[in-house]
Structure 1
Amino acid sequence: MGENADNEQNKLFGGGTSLLQIILVNFGISLTAFVALWAISVKIKNASIVDIFWGPACALPAATTWLQTESHSLRATLITTLVLIWGLRLGLYLGIRNVGHGEDFRYVRMREKAGGDGPFVMRSLTHVFVLQCCISFFVSLPVQIGQFGFSEWLLFPEGELGIIAYLGITIFVIGLLFEAVGDHQLRQFKKNPENKGKLMDRGLWSWTRHPNYFGDAAVWTGLTLVALESQWGFLTILSPLLMIHFLYNLSGKALLERSMSRRYPDYEDYRRRVSGFLPRPPAR
């Protein structure tokens, strides 16, 4: 075990491709992808396509890390597979949902404040696409760094998953189910013409006002726990905290609820009845 750990350490700091080199390559690939996406958004005059790419963008560095390494441990393959499942599902769902709906109101407002299409071009590059590239890359650090080495202090046999990893997998599955089931329930609700103009407060939406955001938070908490059993996993603890901060305080819950309050007169009653983030049984 000691010899293998030493080999991993040499691989991280020299003697072949190091962890730092792989992370820099990953960032270059991610930045290139976002700039290409920005160019497409300028052509079609719709910055909303960046939202569709959010899930795949968080998963991309895991895939490029896996492709750059020679020995694929169980943890590396597992963490890459899990994040690809999450990212591709989210990207596919948002792609299908957003087709034909035009640009999201957030970007329409930014475009207007910038003074029109011309000034918005460069502003969208820096304030939307490059910013989301940096955020998604930081969030994805657990699925990059978690593929390297093994943490001896956790006292689990090398090459095997420990209790923390299994706890992480469980939390990941719960989060993925909340997100996928919540999205499906909302889609079915909106497909029914009788529900036009009504507020969705059934199924998981009666347990939390944001099953999709709670699901995202659980997914990345779970992935980080799996990564914690790797040699440098402790460096990634801030990643899910940043994700939760954005979901709860900035671009997710807070922004959406301001919009929902204006659109639905009964939203304040819904807020009183249903938890804002962590699920809890509906009030009787």
Structure 2
Amino acid sequence: MLGTLVTVVVASLATAAVAMVATALVARRLGKIAVVDITWGLLFVAIGWVAYLAGTMSVRSLVLAVLVSVWGGRLAWHIRRRALGAGEDPRYAKMLSAVPEEQRFGYAVRKVFLVQGLAAWFVSLPLQVAASTDAAFGWVGFVGVLVWLVGMVFEGVGDAQLAAFKRDPANKGTVMDRGLWAWTRHPNYFGDSAVWWGLFLVAAEAWPGVLTILSPVVMTYFLAFATGAKLLESEMAKRPGYREYMARTSMFFPLPPKRRRTPAGS
């Protein structure tokens, strides 16, 4: 088992390195660092299948490869469609604005491509560890698939509801607070987190998959506090009506919305 695990881990790390080098070269040619966001989802797909082929090719590993392919493929397609015709992502533009132009690519390699490649490799450890075992697939694995499905529903439905909201000219200048967005201010980020907790549960059923618990913890931390919801809300809070939305709606985990306050005397 140990030899198989080492093979899978090394193959997965090599996959992340090749993908990020290729993405960095494409980004340099296009002059757009944001292409890395498309690679992000597809990298997990690649690692899932590399781990499966380099490992025991068990049912568990196959299930994980399929689940992560559905998630990563949908995410990459969504980001690509959203980014078509758009310029550089404001996050990366702000990051590079203080760096001399001739040093920006090297800076992006260190701070974006290297970091995201290592992060994807670490977060995908449940897929890698599960690929080194051949234990039977049981009820804990099915619970993991159910949690993954809940995450996919929140992520996909949340993105679709927001897209429909933005297409309606009547909503310009207002805050999206309907559907899943009435229960959590970030249904897509919550969905991402649930997906990875589900994948972890599938892996954790077979020892030593439970030891990879830091992978979904790290993913959830980044989605909720580091580069996800908190970072986005630092800008969103400046928009009219958003602070009121924050006061009545859960930030991350879905909860029933609080009632809107009625002005006194009305």
| TM-score, normalisation: structure 1 | 0.88
**Superposition pairs of residues 86-125 of structure 1, within 5 angstroms:** 86-116=71-101, 118-125=102-109
CA distance in 2, matches of 1:165, 1:244: 20
Q: Which runs of 5+ in 2 are unaligned?
A: 260-266
> Does the 8 Å CA contact 1:110/1:120 hold for their aligned counterparts?
no
Deviating above 2 A after TM superposition, structure 1's stretches of 4 or more consecutive aligned residues are: none
Matches within 5 A, 1:90-239: 90-116=75-101, 118-150=102-134, 158-159=135-136, 161-239=137-215
Q: How does 1:17-32 map to 2 (within 5 A)?
A: 18-32=4-18
Deviations 1:116-164 (A, max 9, x none): 2x211100001000100000110011112112225xxxxxxx52x2222
- Separation (CA, whole Å) in 2 of partners of 1:29 and 1:247: 23
In 1, Cα distance between equivalents of 2:34 and 2:109: 13
Instruction: Say if 1:148 and 1:231, in contact at 8 Å, map to a contact too.
Output: no
**Distance in 1 (alpha carbons) for counterparts of 2:30 and 2:58:** 42
1:280 counterpart SS class: coil
CA shift, 1:243, in A, is: 0.4
SS in 2 for 1:53: helix
Aligned with 1:85 (options 70, 73, 81): 70
- State the Cα distance separating 1:102 from its structure 2 match: 0.7
CA RMSD, aligned part only?
A: 1.3
> CA separation in 2, counterparts of 1:58 and 1:33?
10
Offset, 1:21: 1.9
Structure 1 contact 148–232 (Cα < 8 Å) conserved = no
Distance of 1:35 and 1:198 partners within structure 2? 40
Query: Is the partner of 1:113 in helix, strand or coil?
Result: coil
Shift of 1:74: 1.6
Aligned equivalents of 2:211, 2:110: Cα separation in 1: 27
Asked whether the 8 Å contact 1:175–1:218 carries over to 2, the reply is yes
Pairs aligned (count): 259
Does residue 276 in structure 1 map to residue 251 in structure 2?
A: yes
Amino acid at match of 1:175: G
| Per-residue deviation, residues 235-258 of structure 1 (Å, max 9, x unmatched) | 211000000111111100110000
Letter of the 2:95 counterpart: M
Deviation track 1:185-239 (CA, whole Å, cap 9, x = no partner) reads 0111111122222211111000100001100110000100100112320221100
Corresponding position of 2:50: 64
Aligned twin of 1:53: 39
More moved, 46-55 vs 203-212: 46-55
Q: What is residue 247 of structure 1 aligned with on the other side?
A: 223
Indicate conservation of the 8 Å contact 1:59/1:140, yes or no: no
CA distance in 1, matches of 2:127, 2:82: 27
Q: Is contact 2:58–2:131 with CA below 8 Å preserved after alignment?
A: yes
Task: Map Cα deviations across residues 5-28 of structure 1 (whole Å, 9 max, x no partner).
Answer: xxxx3xx33xxxx21122112211
| Percent identical | 39
Runs of at least 5 residues in structure 1 that lack an aligned partner in the other structure: 1-8, 151-157
Deviation at 1:115, TM superposition (A): 2.2
- Contact 1:217-1:244 at 8 Å conserved across structures: yes
Kindly state the Cα deviation for residue 67 of structure 1 after the two structures are TM-superposed. Answer: 2.1
Q: Counterpart in 1 of 2:29?
A: 43
The alignment's TM-score, normalised by the length of structure 2, stands at 0.94
Query: 1:3: which partner in 2?
Result: none
Corresponding residue SS for 1:114: coil
